[in-house]
Each structure stands twice: as structure tokens, then as C-alpha cells.
Structure 1
């Protein structure tokens, strides 16, 4: 029976490459279906054998815990260095772009709500 290991929708290319390398290193006999351009099919990593699926899921779980730790560490470093932040950080770094986006959001919101307010 076919086992779906992981959905590939919204998965960054570097993560998918690392998972392919992980499976090839550990000789997991998997196959891959790509996600569709329009988001209809999810794509993913698959295996045929149930035992192989259990082994692959264990590898994926360990990999994802390690990736989570690495991504959190990288975010903490970027936060400490001032490369990332919230709204006020973005406003200080790119005031024109941020204000233009806020104006666009306000216009879209006004156009969306206006028919209901005028009833």
C-alpha cells in the first residue's frame, strides 16, 4: 500500500533537497510527485512499503526537529543582529514601501466594507 510521507506544498527548495539527500543517504526507496502550479495537487514524498514508511517517518521526524532547531537559531541570530523585526522595524527600514502597503490595505478594506456601510 502506498504511504504518503510528506506534503510538498509550500516546502522551500532547500528543505526538499535536504530530505531527498536524507532519503538517498539512508537508502529509502521513495518516489516524489511535484505539487501543481495552481495548488490543486499537493505533491509529496511517497513509499510503497509499510515498514519502509515507518523507517522514513522516523528519519523525517529527526530531520524536522534538527531543522527546527537550526531555523530558530538562525532567526535568533538575525533578531540579535537587527536584520529582522516587526512592523516598526520594517517602517524604519523602508518607510515609503511600508506606508504604500498600508495605504493599499486601507483602500481595499474601504472598498470591501463600503457596500455594507451604505445600506
Structure 2
């Protein structure tokens, strides 16, 4: 019976392609399902043979560990190079946008918290 080895929801296409290539390189028979027209189905990579599930999960886990390490290192390099702005840099360059977002966040929090507060203080 087929089993899910990798969910594809919110996965960037290059990462999904790398997982597909990894499974193909190791001759693991798999197929994919998409999230469907309304995006409510399971988008995933499935392995056909039960014997290959353990090997596929092991390969994918190793890939994800290496990929996570590489992505974090790339992020830190970009951050050190100054290509990723901090909150204060964003505030300095786009004050209207930052203040608008902060006001919207505060409004959502207020709309969420005030009814609960009123309910318990009645």
C-alpha cells in the first residue's frame, strides 16, 4: 500500500524537485498527488512499495537536514552582508508601511481580545 513520505503543501518548487530527483536517483518508485482545484486535498509524494518507505524517509530526512543547514547559512550570510533589512531599517526607509502594519496588527489583536475580556468581566 502506498504511503506518504513528503508533503508538498507550501514547499518551494526547487526543494520539491530536489526530493523528486533524490528518490529517482535511488530508484524508489513514487507518485505525486496535488492539492486539487480548491487546495484542500493532500499534495504529497507517495512511495508505492512498503519496503521503500523506510529508505525514502531516511533519504528525505538527510536531505532536509542538509538543506536546512545550507539555507540557514545562506540567510546568515545575507544578513551579515546587509541584504536583509532589520525592523529599524524598514522603519527608517518605509515608515508609513511599518506604522500601517503595526496599526493593523493592533486592530486585529483588539478585535480578538476585547470580546474575551468583556465576556469574563461581566
Q: CA deviation at 1:30?
A: 0.4
1:40 aligns with 2:40: yes
The unaligned stretches of length 5 or more in structure 2 are: none
User: Could you tell me which residue of structure 2 aligns to residue 26 of structure 1?
Assistant: 26
Q: CA deviation at 1:109?
A: 2.9
Q: Decide which moves more: 41-50 or 77-86.
A: 77-86
Output the TM-score relative to the length of structure 2. 0.80
The unaligned stretches of length 5 or more in structure 1 are: none
User: Could you tell me which residue of structure 2 aligns to residue 58 of structure 1?
Assistant: 58
RMSD: 2.3
1:80 aligns with 2:70: no
User: Could you tell me which residue of structure 2 aligns to residue 106 of structure 1?
Assistant: 106
Aligned to 2:62, the other structure's residue is in SS state helix
Q: CA deviation at 1:14?
A: 1.4
Aligned to 2:32, the other structure's residue is in SS state strand
Q: Decide which moves more: 78-87 or 45-54.
A: 78-87
The number of equivalent residue pairs is 119
CA distance in 2, matches of 1:32, 1:88: 43
Q: Decide which moves more: 19-28 or 73-82.
A: 19-28
Output the TM-score relative to the length of structure 1. 0.82
Q: CA deviation at 1:113?
A: 4.0
